[in-house]
A and B are shown apart, each in its own frame.
Chain A
Amino acid sequence: MAAKKNNKIKASVGSRVFDLVNLLVLLTVASACLVPFLFVIAASVSPLSDILTRKFFIYPIHLDFSTYKYLFSSVSLIKSMGVSGFVTLVGTVLSMVLTLMTAYALSKDHLKGRGFFNALIVFTMMFSGGMIPTYLVVNGLKMTDTLWALWLPGCISAYNTILIRSSISALPKELEEAAVVDGCNYFQSFRRIVLPLIKPAVATFSLFYAVGYWNDYFDAVLYVNNSELWPIQVWLRQIVLLSSGGFSDASAVSDIGYIPPQNVSYAVIVFATLPILLVYPFVQKCFSKGMMLGSVKG
């Protein structure tokens, strides 16, 4: 039994030192990103006095769940979480369906007026109507005070459309031609050939849209008068900024009867960020599946 020969190429000392330094630098940067998160989570379960005197750093010294009890004491925050979830889910699906269909159509060279449509889309990226004209349009279409005002105005992002269009154009034409020869129409070849191949792109942009819908608060405040339909971001902003003294009108200091204590604002931050944070690991699986290029042989 021959001794196992060490046929690994021994890394030179310099290369190993480089690896070590690399590792250390990356660990430092990663922990610098992680520490504020841990602080916020710890602060949300600490009593107010600990936060005011900064007694703890990363893990809480005393546990105090009164903040979460307060959050859940009224139904409104849970309802708004539900609204957020609903808006994000439906919005992402709607946006992705429309964006993908638009990008697919635009990627076809033989589309009549292709240059015109492309130019139009790029134009909207650079110029926007402004807040008031957009409001007038949304109002005129009777979308105010409904959830449609949160979905339709920003439904298709021009930037995402262009990127997806490019990635569809990058697919070899032979794939689709082969499909057409076998009798596919546009819908079928879109569904069966193109979509599976651009899965990483679909996953990425779904995540972008989802985060965009999840984070939106301004549209909700502007278009939706009914406070039952406000997503959690509106409340998050209200609580956090009020408790840290960010009053819009300094002379309004007198009007604020109740200022939320700081630990409640930390609890709301955790409450509002956790769902979207949890989505990410599930979506990440799709990123790693590479594109199956070269499937046309011969």
Chain B
Amino acid sequence: MRKTTKKGLAALLALTVVLCGGCASKEQNAKEAEGDSSVRLTIMQELFSDQAPDMENNAWYNALEEKMGIEIEINYVPTLSYEEKVTTLIASKGLPKIFSANGNVLMNNNMIQAMDGGGFWTLDDYLKDYPNLYNFIGEQTWENCKRNGKIYGIPKTRILGRCGYVIRQDWLDNLGLDMPETFEEFKEVMRAFTEDDPDGNGVDDTYGFVSSYQGPYNREWNGLEFLAVAMGAPNEWRYENGEMVPDFATDQWLTMLTYIKDMYDSGYMNKDFAEITANDRTSAFDQGKCGVIFCTTDDISTRSANLTQVVPEAVCAVGSALHFEGEEPKCVSTKGFNGLVMFNRFGDGAIQTEEELKEILGIYDSLCTQEYQDFMAYGVKGVHYEVQDEKRVMIMDQGTGKTQLSVDTADGLNQSFPYPPYFRKDDDSQMLTDLYDSIEYRNQHLVTNDSIGLQSDTYDELSSELDNMMMDADVKYIMGSIDADGYRKCVDQWRERGGADVIKEYTEQYAEYKLNEQ
């Protein structure tokens, strides 16, 4: 008896050691396999979809590797845990050569320390050798993504003129109204949506627009910024007369608040806007209760898909850029990018030499040419797309209902490769074509945020407190608890709490980095 138990224990111990040892050797094998001279890209990026692509039998990536003569290895991390993973890898010096850094990661303290400490390659000096890449991103976006005057990575381009609203075209048709162009027309349409029974069911169950003011970003996507900028307010910050001015300190902002307050009092918007979440507001629109939702214009695809489940005859349209009678429209501009593709310089997995960096930049440069852009949009002929009636049509994957290209790349190409904000494809629907047209129109009338790329330590420290102060003031004004004087008092309180320092710091930074280039 004794012997068997002792033997059993010994066997268990041996097994443990063997397993641990076996696992370690797998890593060594992988490293030995790469010894050939082709460039090897190791990439880490967020996974947004619910299935990770199979990297070994991946038609798209294998084809890319063949075309360019390189090797690609991608590490997917679920988006919700991305920030923690990146900070852990920074601390343990385990970052791969290339990784995608989103907004949250870029604001993380560990990341900022690593950036300032030279942990990542700065690209300013190299860009002139890569004209394709430079022109692809565009000068304005390169400017916007600078930190302390240096470029820390390739910005992931996003649509500039994204802020807008989606409107129920079928309700407009039912009531015989045109798409509103001016603010007065918009208010009239809201009134009609609320009082004139646009869905024709004889019940008074509709209202004009839905909004939710919970959370800091909802200010951007929930109508406040959109309307304010259209009325002439700055896009968050404007440099005027030698000083940076925040939007809520201007008269136009108050005009916008009064405009919304009017509609709130008349019942053209949801009364619970201060409590509901962004999700509740999309549900309200998807259930057909209201006619307009302020959002990002490319949301129209999801809104339309969900809405037609509930109301099959509904038609969505992208709202027009509102403006004052006789004036040009003014549209909110986003930064034009969302995060950076950064090139790692420290740790074992890094890009060690300048030559390697130049090789990799060369690869990115060729990815910006039309040939590769088409490849990223359409994929491999016969696998991802086929030609029908001289148009390229995407092949769908049977099980999941997504395109085969989507499955193979997990919609993640825009995370680590130069990818345009949107593609016009041969088989776009009318809705998508209208969307892209409206985006291009908006891009002609943009108002940029002058504080992009500038640093304010006070703001980094107190951002949630300062932002919430003004969000509360906005809500109170709309609901009528405070009047215009009360609102101005809130702005003064904001200044006292730290806003004055933020203004000072932004003004200094602007003078240092931006005035020189004007």
- Pairing of A with B: yes
Beta-carbon contact of B48 and A227 below 8 Å: no
Using A238-B50, A253-B296, A254-B338 as known contacts, say yes or no to A139 and B94 having CB atoms under 8 A apart.
Answer: yes
Residues in A with CB closer than 8 Å to B298 are: 254
B20 within 8 A of A: yes
* Nearest A-chain residue to B217, judged by Cβ: A250
A48 within 8 A of B: yes
B387 within 8 A of A: no
Using A52-B309, A74-B399, A146-B23 as known contacts, say yes or no to A242 and B48 having CB atoms under 8 A apart.
Answer: yes
* Nearest A-chain residue to B159, judged by Cβ: A254
* Interface size of B as a range: 35 or more
A254 to B24, CA, bound (A): 39
Beta-carbon contact of A70 and B399 below 8 Å: yes
Q: Which of A47, A74, A187 is within 8 Å of B400, CB to CB?
A: A74
Residues in A with CB closer than 8 Å to B406 are: 257-258
* Nearest B-chain residue to A73, judged by Cβ: B399
> How many cross-chain pairs have Cβ atoms below 8 Å apart between A and B?
151
* Nearest A-chain residue to B397, judged by Cβ: A73
Q: Which of A146, A188, A252, A259 is within 8 Å of B103, CB to CB?
A: A252
A242 to B46, CA, bound (A): 13
Residues in A with CB closer than 8 Å to B13 are: none
A 28-53 contacts with B by CB, 8 A: 47-49, 52-53
Stretch from B79-87, B126-134, B236-244 at the A interface? B79-87
Please give the distance in Å from A291's CB to the nearest CB on chain B: 25
Beta-carbon contact of A53 and B310 below 8 Å: yes
Beta-carbon contact of B411 and A252 below 8 Å: no
Beta-carbon contact of B24 and A142 below 8 Å: yes
Using A53-B310, A245-B279 as known contacts, say yes or no to A227 and B76 having CB atoms under 8 A apart.
Answer: yes
B215 within 8 A of A: yes
Please give the distance in Å from B27's CB to the nearest CB on chain A: 7
A 214-273 contacts with B by CB, 8 A: 218, 221-222, 225, 227-228, 230, 234-235, 237-239, 241-242, 244-261, 264
B261 within 8 A of A: no
B 115-136 contacts with A by CB, 8 A: none
Stretch from A15-23, A129-137, A169-177, A196-204 at the B interface? A129-137
Using A52-B306, A148-B19, A242-B48 as known contacts, say yes or no to A248 and B399 having CB atoms under 8 A apart.
Answer: no
Beta-carbon contact of B24 and A238 below 8 Å: no
A185 within 8 A of B: yes
A264 to B334, CA, bound (A): 32
Q: Which of B48, B92, B277, B334 is within 8 Å of A136, CB to CB?
A: B92
Using A221-B85, A238-B80 as known contacts, say yes or no to A258 and B402 having CB atoms under 8 A apart.
Answer: yes
Using A142-B24, A185-B2, A187-B5 as known contacts, say yes or no to A258 and B79 having CB atoms under 8 A apart.
Answer: no
Residues in B with CB closer than 8 Å to A69 are: 399
B58 within 8 A of A: no
Using A76-B52, A227-B52, A255-B48 as known contacts, say yes or no to A222 and B79 having CB atoms under 8 A apart.
Answer: no
Beta-carbon contact of B49 and A142 below 8 Å: no
Measured CB to CB, the residues of B under 8 A from A are 1-2, 5, 19-20, 23-24, 27, 46-52, 75-85, 87-88, 91-92, 94, 102-104, 158-159, 162, 215-217, 221, 277-279, 282-283, 286-287, 296, 298-299, 302, 306, 309-310, 334, 338-339, 398-402, 406, 411, 414-415
Given A148-B20, A187-B5, A227-B47; 11 other pairs, CB 8 A cutoff = A52-B283, A69-B399, A135-B92, A145-B23, A218-B81, A227-B76, A242-B48, A245-B278, A254-B162, A255-B338, A260-B50
Some 16 contacts from A to B, beta carbons below 8 A apart, are A48-B309, A52-B306, A52-B309, A74-B51, A132-B91, A142-B20, A225-B77, A230-B52, A238-B80, A245-B277, A249-B103, A250-B216, A250-B217, A254-B162, A257-B411, A259-B302
